[in-house]
Amino acid sequence: MSVAGTVPTGSWGRQWKGWRSGIREALRNPIAAACRHVHGSPVFVVVYHTVCETNPDHIKNLYRPRTPREFSADMEFLCRHFEPIDLPTLLKAVKGEEEIHRPSVLVTFDDGLREMAEVAMPILKGWGIKPALYVNLDFLDNKTLFFRQKASLLAERLRRIGTDDVRWTTVSEILAMHGVAAHDPAAGVMRIAWDRRAVLDEVAHVLEFDEAEFLARTRPYLTRDEVRTLMAQGVAIGAHGFNHPNHRLLSPEERLAEVVGSTEATATMFGTGHRTFAFPFSDQGLPGDFFDALYAKGVDLTFGTSWPQKPTKARQIQRFCFETGPEPASAQLTKRLIRSAGGNVLRGMRPAAA
């Protein structure tokens, strides 16, 4: 990423000028200066999934979304410390076509949930923020349901029927048969991984959960037309994959096909002019040569969720998520910065290898 001024180079005079500028920035905007220090970049990227007043059953067991009031407060905090940028600006910086000096923030949304347009977007427009939206192609138009959201719905049904219902016992037996031991089948359902998601269909049959009926009635995801309406309002669109797999459970060939295929399909479907990808779950533990192969095949940029980890590739960017509880964004970010600073100190105290 072209972020001139991050590390002073050249003559002592130039270095002193850079240090002096850094000191002024730290005094004027300590939050942004600390983010730049631990992450190594003036660009701070955040990720959300949805914004809603009450937590719906298909989200309830996954994360704690921001309410409209909390989300608005988050945007006020971010705009106070960072200058909002859009995805095209970040892409130009990554390609070396433009430099980003000022503390900047990019807001992103994953999964393509309907509340992004209906609830979050009016708030974002009020702050002059143009976000990036990462969609799963299989979920668009409410064709299929994300397996983790299905698990959350089933867990809530189990909690409502209680332990005396024969279905509680039946689901416990299904889980045990598939090696998921759990005293509480609702908790067991939430432990089912992507590669064993077919087990959820067995549980859904027992609980008489009709996925098609739920999708038609609730419409949790955006349609293609709704995505195009968002694009007309300045929202950038990228790929979050086809069906939200855990990439650590895929073979190298499947992993490459998922990313390259979904970015190409998203670019074609929406005419984006770029190919960017936000990894479902995380990009942690994926080999460096995999990212090299992605970028060689035309993927412009990838996002993970492990901020403040410094990128090992110029096109690999980590994001921060505020959907961990009701605490204000300022408190959540400050805690993460303190933990990161402590980790850096401890790493510096390790004895050198002999």
User: Residues 69-81: pLDDT tens digits?
Assistant: 999 999 999 999 9
> What local confidence, expressed as pLDDT, does residue 129 receive?
98
DSSP 351: P
> What local confidence, expressed as pLDDT, does residue 181 receive?
80
Domains of the chain: 42-144+222-341 (3.20.20.370), 147-216 (no CATH)
> What local confidence, expressed as pLDDT, does residue 22 receive?
55
Q: How far is CA 134 from CA 55, 99, 162, 300, in A?
A: 21, 25, 37, 14
Q: How far is CA 276 from CA 55, 114, 240, 258, in A?
A: 29, 21, 9, 13
> What local confidence, expressed as pLDDT, does residue 185 receive?
96
Residue 18, H or E segment = helix 12-28
d(C-alpha 98, C-alpha 2), whole Å:
7
- Give the DSSP per-residue string, 175-225: HHHTT---SSHHHHHTT--GGGTHHHHHHHHHTT--HHHHHHHH--B--HH
Average pLDDT for runs of 10 along the chain of length 354: 43 51 68 92 97 97 98 98 98 94 97 98 98 98 98 97 94 95 92 96 98 98 98 98 96 97 98 97 94 96 93 90 95 92 48 42
Structure tokens at 109: 């949304």
- Tokens 């608005």 sit at which residue? 72
Structure tokens at 125: 């427009």
Structure tokens at 323: 């959907």
3-state secondary structure of 229: helix
> What local confidence, expressed as pLDDT, does residue 182 receive?
80
Neighbouring residues of 260: CB distance < 8 A, sequence distance ≥ 6: 294, 297, 298, 299
| CB neighbour burial string for 19-47, b if at least 16 within 10 angstroms, e if fewer | eeebeebeeebebbbbbbbbbebbbbbbb
Beta pairing, strands 301-304 & 320-321: unpaired
> What local confidence, expressed as pLDDT, does residue 1 receive?
52
> What local confidence, expressed as pLDDT, does residue 6 receive?
40
Q: How far is CA 61 from CA 18, 55, 269, in A?
A: 47, 9, 32
Its pTM stands at: 0.90
> What local confidence, expressed as pLDDT, does residue 313 receive?
84
> What local confidence, expressed as pLDDT, does residue 331 receive?
95
> What local confidence, expressed as pLDDT, does residue 312 receive?
80
> What local confidence, expressed as pLDDT, does residue 9 receive?
40
d(C-alpha 185, C-alpha 172), whole Å:
5
The residue type found at 225 is D
